[in-house]
């Protein structure tokens, strides 16, 4: 049928050099029903501008102790992309066994909002952070 506008998809670095995939998405029209479909690839999910490998690397780096802005800079994606990936994580807190001595405090989380943090007083181990 025709091609869509070129998409620039960031890939992982190759030998220290930033790599960019210029992807031309082709549209096809069904002769029976006249519907138009876009060809798909396993490199990039549908309606996404970031490769699956980069998204997996963001997930891996989020599990390590790396700053969010450093992840974005290293993988050449926006910080909002890293924040969206972080929001997909789900954490299950178990309150079956709480420490004998706890400390808690409130801190500025977002502009005009506070969050609640609880930790073990003796070991300084974080228990939870609540909105």
Kindly tell me if the per-residue pLDDT of 91 is higher than 80: no
Note if the pTM is more than 0.75: no
**Are 104 and 118 spatial neighbours (Cβ–Cβ below 8 Å)?**
yes
Q: Can you give the residue ranges of every domain in the chain?
A: 2-87, 91-131
How far CA 12 is from CA of 72, 77, 93, in Å, comes to 12, 11, 34
Kindly tell me if the per-residue pLDDT of 38 is higher than 80: no
pLDDT of residue 22: 79
Mean pLDDT, residues 110-121 taken together? 84
pLDDT of residue 97: 84
What is the share, in percent, of the chain residues with pLDDT greater than 70?
Answer: 93
């Amino acid at each position: 049928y025709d091609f869509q506008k070129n998409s620039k998809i960031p890939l992982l670095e190759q030998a220290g050099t930033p790599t960019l995939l210029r992807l031309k998405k082709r549209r096809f029209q069904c002769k029976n029903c006249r519907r138009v479909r876009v060809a798909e690839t396993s490199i990039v999910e549908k309606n996404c501008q970031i490769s699956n490998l980069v998204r997996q690397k963001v997930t891996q780096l989020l599990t390590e102790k790396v700053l969010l802005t450093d992840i974005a800079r290293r993988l050449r994606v926006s910080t909002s992309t890293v924040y969206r990936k972080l929001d997909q994580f789900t954490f299950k807190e178990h309150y079956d066994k709480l420490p004998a001595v706890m400390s808690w405090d409130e801190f500025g989380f977002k502009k005009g909002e506070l969050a609640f943090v609880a930790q073990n007083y003796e070991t300084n181990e974080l228990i939870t952070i609540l909105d």
